[in-house]
Chain A
Amino acid sequence: MKESATHETARRYGMVIDLDKCTGCGACMVSCYAENNVPFKKDESNKLDSINWIRVVKMTNQKPYPDTQICYLPMPCMQCDGVGKHGHSPCVSVCPAVATDYDFTTGIVSQIYTRCFGCRYCMAACPYHARKFNWWDPVWPADMEKYLSPNVSPRMRGVVEKCSFCFHRYQLARDKAYQEERAELEENEYQPACVEACPVKAMTFGDLNNPAHAVYELKNHKHAFRLLERLETNPKVYYISSKEWVRRNGDNYLPDEAPGRLKSKAKARH
């Protein structure tokens, strides 16, 4: 883990997903597959061996017909800052070979496929199931290898992969900025494929530390929350929902507790 001079990073890229807007169409998932060369198998119905960098989880409020409600929850890698935002995300701190690392300049948790030797400790550590293992050799039938993007290397069997917030897009944008002798990126210069693909604009992406970026305000929305905040993983993906049951599903509460009223350690340090 690279140490930084200050623990506060220059940029902390993050996402705010408006669950009231999300229709669960899955465009984010498909856009991600295409962008990041995510393979597919003949049978993808076992969701526990299906590689997805972002999953859209269907939640219901468990009430009987016709009071039933559905909410879709898109879950990319949460790019956790870890306890006290020191970059010790659940996964980074456990990887024995530094195959996953926290980048202090962006706050993005990387995954180095050629370094990973497939011990899967990071998967055990991640409560969000954001990490996926390549149980099989990836295969692209017919001429499908032709659509593979050179921006992201296809992963070999036996390694773990996960969402990178389309880090290659950040690199491309940054390189372009350097060429144009700019130090800062415009908000729209770097957007992950899922965010760009969302047809209802439910996802907003930017630097959580930058007041000029939309996410800066959005993350403080009265209905904003993060998943499993009480575990102090400090995710950089925020959600907004006007529905109380949805917000409650985002974390675990004792019977006498309720979201919002709770002042957890995580909140205090946040």
Chain B
Amino acid sequence: MKIDRRKFLAGFSACVGGGAVGSMLSPLPWKVMDDVAIWTQNWPWTPVPQDGRYSYVQSVCALCPGGCGISVRKVKSRAVKIEGLKDHPAGNGGLCPLGLSGLQYLYGPARVKSPLKRVGKRGEGKWQPISWDAAISEVSQKLNELRARNKPHSLAWISGENKGILAGLIDRFLKVYGSPNVLRDSTAHDAIDQAAYHTQGQRGTVFWDIENADFILSFGAGLMDGGWPLARMNGFPKSADGGKTLIQVEARLSDTAAKADLWVAANPGTEGVLALGIAHVMIRELIYNIDFINRQASGFEDGVMGGDQVLQGFKSMVLEKYKPEKVSGITGVPVDAIFDIARRFAKSDKAVAVCGRGHGRVAGCMDEALAVHYLNALKGNIHQPGGVFVVADPDYVRFPEPGMDKIAEYGLGQTRVDGAQSEKFPNSRYLLHRLPEIINTADGDSPVQALLVSGANPLYTIPDGKSVKKSFDKIPFIASFSPFMDETAVYSDVILPDHTYLECYRDIVSQGSMDGIVVSLAKPVVRPLYNTSHLGDVIIQIAKALGGYIETAFAWKSYESLLEETFADNWETITSSGYIRMNPQIPGTVATSFNTPSKKFEFNINAGAPEAPFSSAFEKIAMEGDAQNYPLTLIPYDSIRLAGNYPANPPFMTKIIDDTVLKKTHGCIEINPATAKQLRLSEGDAVKLSTPRGEADVQIHLYEGVMPGVIALPRGLGHTAYSEEWGLYGKGVNVNDLMGPIEDPVSGFNMAWGIRAKLTKI
């Protein structure tokens, strides 16, 4: 038979067809189908976490000053989950979303994995990994050079470490090196502590005994917005099983205001005036703590100064100047409400007034802090359960007095670069926000020739970002110790990455309570993942490289040996239970504790005198910008879902941000629908937000809970560093770039609570 093309094709098709039909009857296709399905169930690119032995490491969270106890679940050598540590006095088993996200910092893409030296232009992001020896010599060479030029005081260290051993090491290092310039960010606590100092003569940290109070009158404190460990708010707000009373004074319906029994929508910046209005009612109706005021206060009644000069007392000043009608006019709070709040506050068993806007990131106005503190005095709750305590800072960090050379003594004799602790601002320890302007306006060389940064991200957090950047450009040498590639690290010349808090020992000082200040020990949960080094050890190494007295002052073998030495007898306790308590409070020890000239609580209201900060002309805290060009008021707000400070929001937290706060890369600005209507703006509109300090593109979000005429922007967005995979890069607006600092005349603190602004439709 002749096989032509047609026959061949037919035969071939028959074979293929027959084969196909035949194989359908065989197990082959079914087996393949099954195998393919099994493959989809085990895609190699979908990870399968390894199982292994479980263990738990008890430690402490170091992501905010709260210092809550954590329990870290491990599988073999991997840390898989952070949970709250039950029975730990700080946090009481609860953790905020930031603390729960801790492992994302540890394993995340923002880590600096080894010491890095800048090879490109500053901020360009081009780095060369170097050895630790090389990194330390980079720093020590620069520091030696400054000493050789007899300019040790031109070294500054911006430090996030505020208390504890690391803070002690940094202070000691700068001291023996010869620089007075340890700089730290001031928070609302600095103003409050200073208010307590002015009135009670006590140095220390103020704490409000929330746990034992049954009534909180909060002037804008973000008690439930993440400024405080939430577990401490147990009982607030009221619920089915009873509870305590919370009154929140705030221009914006925050989560704290939402949970309050009463939300008092006062004009922003007038909270302190409202406090004085309340004081007025308490005094007028004689519902203040007369016993306390009579026996343990001075300056309440008018006094005679010498000659026939009458010194006005707090009472007559308040009665005269803060009549409810007038206060109502300033604050926008109805007169009835002022009376009502005053009466409820006065008549509650254990009431306390607290302040510090949101997370308390901005130190704030001294007048306001004092006004609120005076309310507590009127209530007579000073050093009473459920009231206000001033606790001395723990003093377990005691290093032997170091020897110093001439250069160091010379340098220490120079004034601080930020003007803190000066004649003008004697009681303020740090005024970091003043640094950029001082550098930018200096004649000739920058007064800061070398800057070291640890535990802080000043390029992001200091107000008026533009001028901060400008000032950093003038600093010839910047070294960062950050474990993360944050904005400041990106802008530095050399990075000497620290461990994260989950990889090393570290002592953490928590906020106080009646039972004292809790000092917890962070332990290495996992071995360091990368080529990082403990900041404590790095300081010791740098000191060694500098030699001389500096080396002698840091003669410790390592940070760990120093840690053990420092805790001495307490080492056992702190390693086994994870924390120790210090300085427990004994209530009612008022008389012995006041350290004022009169040994009483002093209502110092006479402006001018250095020890009398209160300005009786106090009406509304100043705000930058003119109403003509900027008809709106921009206020920043804090959210528990946004780490507003350092370090930046982890992906888990960014994931829980509402789409009314952040939409794709657009930050949303909250505006009252009535205001929006006037401006012909509607939900989702793209607008340009301008302030005297800068402008940014934002998206409109209509929110009934924000005061008409006021617009609100969250803190914590607008990052330009970390890693793109971190999920925060280039999203939203950094509100610090839109606001400048406003100097409090008494303390020098930044008291800016808002800025004038306008919106233009794009």
Contacts and interface: CB of A to CB of B under 8 A. Distances in A.
* Direct touch of chains A and B (CB < 8 A): yes
Contacts of B50: 150
A58 B640 CA distance: 14
B255 A197 contact: no
A142 B240 contact: no
Contact of A144 (B104, B237, B255): B104
Nearest to A19: B239
Interface in B696-714: 704-708
Nearest to A16: B240
B71 to A, nearest CB: 11
Interface stretch (A27-35, A179-187, A254-262): A27-35
Given A20-B240, A43-B664, A66-B263, A199 B231 contact: yes
Interface stretch (B107-115, B341-349, B537-545): B107-115
Contacts of A156: 40-41, 43, 46
Contacts of B263: 66
A145 to B, nearest CB: 5
Given A40-B655, A70-B705, A147-B104, A240 B663 contact: no
B291 interface: no
B231 A200 contact: yes
A156 B253 CA distance: 41
Nearest to B68: A199
Residue of A44, A66, A223 contacting most chain B CB atoms (<10 Å): A66
B75 interface: yes
A211 interface: no
Interface in B35-90: 40-41, 43, 45-52, 73, 75, 78-84
B287 interface: no
Given A23-B233, A42-B724, A149 B265 contact: no
A84 B639 CA distance: 42
Determine chain A's interface SS by DSSP, over half rule. loop
Contacts of A71: 258
B439 interface: no
Contact of A142 (B109, B640, B663): B109
Residue of A30, A37, A41, A218 contacting most chain B CB atoms (<10 Å): A30
A44 B104 CA distance: 16
Contacts of B645: none
Contact of A197 (B95, B253, B655, B704): B95
Given A33-B652, A141-B725, A147-B78, A240 B240 contact: yes
Contacts of A20: 237-240
A30 B240 contact: no
Interface stretch (A45-53, A87-95, A228-236): A45-53
A114 interface: yes
B724 A34 contact: no
A10 interface: no
B108 A141 contact: yes
Contact of B49 (A37, A193, A240): A37
Contact of A47 (B45, B255, B659): B659
B93 to A, nearest CB: 8
A234 to B, nearest CB: 23
Interface residues of A, number: 71
Interface stretch (B222-230, B297-305, B416-424): B222-230
Contacts of A200: 94, 230-231, 233-234
Contacts of B49: 37, 145, 148-150, 153-154
B210 to A, nearest CB: 13
Nearest to B238: A20
Contacts of B79: 146-147
Contact of B658 (A58, A137, A144): A58
Contacts of A140: 47
Nearest to A47: B659
A24 B239 contact: no
Nearest to A61: B704
Nearest to B91: A199
B225 to A, nearest CB: 8
Interface string A103-147: 000000000001000000000000000000000011011111111
Interface in B136-176: none
Nearest to B641: A26
A40 B727 contact: yes
Contact of A34 (B48, B101, B665, B723): B101
A63 interface: yes
A31 B94 CA distance: 11
A145 B725 CA distance: 14
Contacts of B664: 43, 45-46
B259 interface: yes
A207 interface: no
Contacts of B83: 31, 193, 196-197
Nearest to B111: A142
Given A45-B663, A147-B81, A200-B234, A34 B259 contact: no
B103 interface: yes
A25 B75 contact: no
B100 interface: yes
Contact of A30 (B97, B529, B705): B97
Nearest to B38: A114
Interface string A58-69: 101011111011
Residue of B79, B100, B654 contacting most chain A CB atoms (<10 Å): B100
A41 to B, nearest CB: 7
Interface string B632-666: 00000000110000000001111111111011110
B672 interface: yes
A143 B107 contact: yes
Interface string B206-242: 0000000000000000001010011101100111100
Interface in B669-717: 672-674, 704-708
Given A157-B46, A199-B230, 12 more contacts: A27-B97, A29-B655, A30-B97, A33-B655, A34-B100, A44-B654, A46-B659, A70-B705, A114-B41, A148-B49, A150-B49, A158-B40
Query: 3 closest pairs, A vs B, by CB?
Result: A199-B94, A66-B265, A199-B230
Interface of A: 18, 20-21, 23-27, 29-31, 33-35, 37, 40-47, 50, 52, 56, 58, 60, 62-66, 68-72, 114, 137-138, 140-150, 153-158, 193, 196-202, 218, 221, 223, 240, 242
15 contacts: A20-B238, A25-B641, A26-B641, A42-B724, A45-B662, A58-B658, A62-B704, A141-B108, A142-B107, A143-B108, A145-B49, A148-B49, A149-B73, A242-B238, A242-B239
